[in-house]
A = this chain, B = another copy of it.
Amino acid sequence: MADNSGYCRRMRLEHPRLTERFGAVRIHELQRVIELDSGSDRAEGSGEHTLTSQIVSSAAIRGIERELAIVIPCMNETRRVIEGVLSGIPHDCLIILVSNSQRAPVDRYEIERQTVEQFCRLAERPALTIHQRDPGLAAAMKAAGLPELLDDDGLVWNGKGEAMLVGMALAALSGRHYVGYVDADNYVPGSVNEYCKAFAAGLHQADSPYAMVRISWHSKPKLKDGRLFFSRRGRTSEVTNQFINRLIAEYSGFGTDVVTTGNAGEHALTLELGMRMRLAGGFAVEPFEYVDLFEQFGGVLESPHPSVMVDGVMVRQIETRNPHFHDDKGESHVHDMRLQALNVLYHSPVCLPPVREAILEFLVTQGALAPGEEPARERTYPPLSTLALDRLLDGLTTEATSFRQIEGRLAAGILMDPPIPRPQPMVS
């Protein structure tokens, strides 16, 4: 639907200098954002490549945003901060809030829902909200064919990976083609905006229907000696990235540093890819994305999706300009994240013995494992392609009392479009 307004905003990125391949998985080296706002398109919807940079046209960015759902996993975050995050999400993206906040003594989810609703009313845009521990959601998931998602209490397991999975299922139901994740505890709306634009720019540049964009933060401010210190390297990330790179290097015989986004909280992907991927529970979810890609499409094990092998899987890593300010979750949180990351690497069938040994050694040295002990196995879930989306929708609308479809100014039909066609069966 063309306008004649003609004044648009492009995003300018560095050229990625090298690409590492692991079977059909192509991982681009980190690209920095040069300008948040790179002026207007010169000609009809054109991007540009110059000697110094790539420009993704605003037309292209908007094209993606209209098909992009942004999932915000949220847990006991303040109203103000949530509102800030919402204000940073580009208008054309669909907001999907997945909450695991307390329901009693204060129903914090209800406050969150109202916050989203108020914002959407002012901003004239739609959203979906749901609570992760809603019994109706669990029942709907079970009926739709994903009983593995339920714990011993018959509710969806707690955990970030599980929240992301629920979010992706809702994105699939909405009919949008891309899903992105932004954490709710982000104090800088401008960075939220930048992540979403980077998602769109990176996804637009995809040369395959199976694509992912992972964000690396420019810096993460930390309190040190009573001042803010803008740390460039997260503690968890360093270790996770190191071992993912080692896993890759063990095959090629060449050391690599290509992966810098092993623990990327903020990332986006095409649903064509996402619905075929297995997700891990808890904090293992983000590094396990790499592991699952290597297992399914790395050419080491037989791929369940030969068509994907032909097109390949594109992974872009984009370093944003804004610093990432979020809640300081503390040492034990970091420890857990690192541990879970290494657990999933260790147990992967594509992880070769020398790397396994290195992981064991590291964990023992860190005191996280007793000598001779095996790392724990993290929970992983089947791909969402196994879900019967029509039954999921039924269950949600009839039983999930926390589920809300917030209308925007847009015509009805934006939400709950006919579900996208189910991807090819696991074995073709």
- Where the two chains meet, the residues of A that have a C-beta atom closer than 8 Å to any C-beta of B are 2-10, 12, 14, 33-46, 50, 52-53, 57-59, 61-63, 80, 84, 87-92, 119, 121-125, 187-191, 193-194, 197, 218, 221, 223, 226-228, 230, 321-323, 325, 328
Contact = CB atoms under 8 A, between A and B. Distances in A.
A9 to B, nearest CB: 5
A87 B36 contact: yes
15 contacts: A2-B4, A3-B44, A5-B8, A5-B41, A12-B91, A14-B122, A36-B88, A36-B190, A39-B91, A52-B122, A84-B218, A88-B190, A188-B190, A189-B321, A223-B226
Contacts of A91: 10, 12, 35, 37-39
A37 B221 CA distance: 25
Contacts of A84: 218, 321-322
- Chain A binding surface SS class: loop
B187 A34 contact: no
Nearest to A62: B7
A6 B9 contact: no
A65 to B, nearest CB: 8
Query: Nearest 10 CB-CB pairs, A to B?
Result: A190-B190, A39-B91, A3-B6, A7-B62, A5-B41, A189-B321, A7-B59, A37-B90, A190-B322, A4-B44
Given A191-B190, A223-B226, A322-B188, A52 B124 contact: yes
A96 to B, nearest CB: 17
A226 B40 CA distance: 44
A58 B227 contact: no
Nearest to A83: B321
Q: Name, among A4, A59, A80, the residue most crowded by chain B CB atoms within 10 Å (CB to CB).
A: A4
A389 B90 CA distance: 43
Nearest to A9: B9
A5 B59 contact: yes
Contact of A38 (B44, B123, B227): B123
A189 B59 contact: no
Nearest to A10: B91
A319 to B, nearest CB: 11
Contact of A5 (B37, B40, B121, B194): B40
Nearest to A42: B3
Contact of A53 (B6, B14, B122, B197): B122
A321 B190 CA distance: 8
Nearest to A321: B189
Nearest to A53: B122
Contact of A8 (B8, B33, B36, B122): B8
Contacts of A121: 52
Nearest to A78: B230
A268 to B, nearest CB: 16
A228 B193 CA distance: 22
Contacts of A61: 7
A359 to B, nearest CB: 34
A162 B168 CA distance: 54
Given A40-B92, A88-B321, 18 more contacts: A4-B44, A5-B43, A5-B46, A7-B45, A7-B58, A8-B8, A8-B9, A12-B123, A34-B87, A36-B190, A37-B89, A37-B91, A53-B124, A84-B322, A190-B321, A223-B223, A228-B325, A323-B325
